[in-house]
Amino acid sequence: MEIQELEPSSNVEQRYRLLVESIIDYAVYMLDSRGIVSSWNAGAQRFKGYASGEIIGSHFSMFYTEEDRLAGLPQHGLEMAASQGRFETEGWRVRNDGSRFWAHVIIDPIRNTDGTLTGFAKVTRDITERYESQLELDRAREALFQAQKMEAVGRLTGGVAHDFNNLMTIILISLNLAKKRDPESPVLDLIDNAIQGAERGAAMTQRMLAFSRRQPLQLEPLLVP
């Protein structure tokens, strides 16, 4: 039976390091236990715009927005990763040029053989396009909901306006008949006022019907007394 010699751990670590450094679709970098950046790969440089020489030795909180730094989110992420074994979140991050991108972030704690925390591994992915697509979808859903709501309101308005218009028609016919039957009536002025009120009500119902049917209203100048 042939016994294969195990590859030295130093070679395995070297190959792993080269693999991580070659990844460009993910920002993969290491932090010490305080959150200081200790390694930097090509993906991190691509997303965040910092060369390794510019960022190694700096605190990773510089990638967060000012609002998130003031809220203590960087330290919170490290504390959650250390206590829970992993921390995963999404949020805005800031590039070297000040622009923002929506990031999916995973922080894993790194411990030595006796369990002592020595640092963190942080993986960041730029998902701005997916985030913006989701926002567009949410806006489209909201617009559809509003359109459906307005459609329901229009149907309700149309039904009420139709019934009210029938009532106004009956009232106007009755008032005009009463006026013709007794043109010398002492309450003729009151009948005229009632007719004017009914005519305004009828005009209102026409506007309501136009709204419910989505018909354009005809605008006319009015002389305000």
pLDDT in tens, 141-191: 777 777 666 666 666 666 666 677 777 777 778 778 777 777 777 777 777
Rounded CA separation 100/127 (Å): 11
Top pLDDT among 156 and 13 is at: 156
109 phi/psi in degrees, rounded to 5:
-75, 150
3-state DSSP assignment of residue 185: coil
Q: Where in 21-156 does DSSP place strands (E)?
A: 27-32, 87-94, 100-111, 117-126
Q: Which residue has the higher pLDDT, 72 or 52?
A: 72
2, pLDDT greater than 60 = no
pLDDT at position 224 over 90? no
Residue type, 141: R
What are the structure tokens assigned to 40, written together?
Answer: 């930097």
Q: Which of 22-31, 101-110, 122-131 has the lowest mean pLDDT?
A: 22-31
Contact 190, 181 (CB under 8 A): no
Cα 141–143–149 angle (5° rounding)? 105
- In the block, which residue shows the tokens 């149907």? 155
Instruction: Report the first-to-last Cα separation within the chain, whole angstroms.
Output: 112
DSSP annotation of 24: -
CB 77 within 8 A of CB 63: no
- Mean pLDDT, the chain, rounded, equals 78
C-alpha span between 92 and 172 (Å, rounded): 65
Tell me which residue has tokens 């993986």.
123
Q: Tell me which residue of 48, 56, 53 sits closest to 98, measured CA to CA.
A: 48
Predicted pLDDT of residue 100: 92
Question: Which pLDDT does position 205 carry in this prediction?
Answer: 73
Q: Count CA atoms within 13 Å of residue 126 on its CB side.
A: 17
Q: Could you tell me which residues come within 8 angstroms of residue 17 by beta carbon, excluding any fewer than 6 positions away?
A: none
* Joined tokens for residue 183: 């043109």
- In what helix (H) or strand (E) does residue 191 lie, and over which residues does it extend? helix 188-212
What is the pLDDT confidence band of residue 12, given thresholds at 50, 70 and 90? very low
